[in-house]
Homo-oligomer: A and B are copies of this chain.
Amino acid sequence: MLDLTDDDTLSDIGPDVAEDRRGKPFVASVGKCFQVLKAFRRGQTDLRQRDLGLTEICKLSGLDKSAAQRFSETLVTLGYLEKDPQTRRYRPGIALIDFYYTYMVSHRLAQIAMPILIEASKVYDTTVNLCELAGTDAIYTVRIPQAKASYGTMLAGRRVPAFCTAPGTVILANMPEDEADAVLAASDLRKITEQTVTEIPALKAQMAEARRLGYHVSDRQSQAHNVSTAAPVLRLDGQAVAAVHIPGYAPHWNLESVHEKLVPLAVDTARRISDSLTEAM
């Protein structure tokens, strides 16, 4: 009944440490509390399970039992986890949602893009997404969903690997080459489907092509049956800040119809957002 199966690839939640921030003050307890929260994301994608026991939190967070207990209880007190008094298991708390709002409310790009994306979604009654690059992942920040999509693909916050997805490709294609190279070098270049391209030269050729064309079509590179397209949102200086992504799900859309209809829609939508952006920034 509850089908959590997802057809596309998920990324884990990113590296635990950032760049060269050594020397900066760092409060270890804070890092550990986020390890606990991350455990729930890992736990969910792995086990399709909504809540975790203390022992599972230990394993998924890498903390010992005492620490896991302390931080879990702390997070319950703060409302970021909830604890079932019966089962004594923990689950994500509703207060977590606050941070989405905190991030998005100050996000000018999303603010500008939202109405344009909504309009676009109506043209062919399709899902339309806005993606941004975060490390080696593309994160969906705004999603205008359609009823037939699977639940996981309706949610903002989803991460997918940049190198093998249409939105990732167009963003990488329109950023400084050395930065793009760094992302590829840091990426875990695994074959997700049979079609996934994993060789750096082939990927760079794809990116060059995407840059030339102004869009990219991902033909079952990360999803077995689906074709999706993306076009870059560009700053005045030509650098990509995001991508408009439109998936074409299997029965209804194919390579041909995506090229004919969704590609122009994605390109046009991204261009409209880019134009509005440069005015405001």
Binding site for B on A (CB under 8 A): 1-2, 4, 13-14, 17-18, 21, 24-27, 29-31, 33-34, 37-38, 40-41, 44-45, 49-51, 69-71, 73-80, 91-106, 108, 110-111, 114-115, 118-119, 132, 134, 139, 141, 144-148, 151-152, 154-159, 279-280
Contact partner of A69 (CB less than 8 A), chosen from B25, B50, B73, B157, is: B25
Contact partner of A95 (CB less than 8 A), chosen from B14, B30, B69, B279, is: B14
Chosen A-B contacts, 17 in total, with CB atoms closer than 8 Å, are A14-B98, A21-B73, A24-B73, A31-B74, A34-B80, A44-B105, A44-B106, A49-B106, A93-B103, A94-B103, A97-B103, A100-B156, A100-B157, A105-B151, A110-B151, A115-B147, A118-B147
- Chain B residues near A156 (CB-CB < 8 A): 97, 100-101, 156
A77 touches B141 (CB 8 A): no
Chain A contact surface mostly: helix
- Chain B residues near A155 (CB-CB < 8 A): 100-101, 104-105
List the number of copies, as a whole number.
Answer: 2
Contact partner of A102 (CB less than 8 A), chosen from B17, B21, B41, B141, is: B41
Knowing A79-B14, A279-B1 are in contact, say whether A96-B91 is a contact too (CB < 8 A). no
Knowing A77-B17, A79-B18 are in contact, say whether A96-B99 is a contact too (CB < 8 A). yes
B41 touches A111 (CB 8 A): no
A26 to B: closest C-beta gap in Å? 5
A124 to B: closest C-beta gap in Å? 14
B157 touches A97 (CB 8 A): yes
A146 touches B118 (CB 8 A): yes
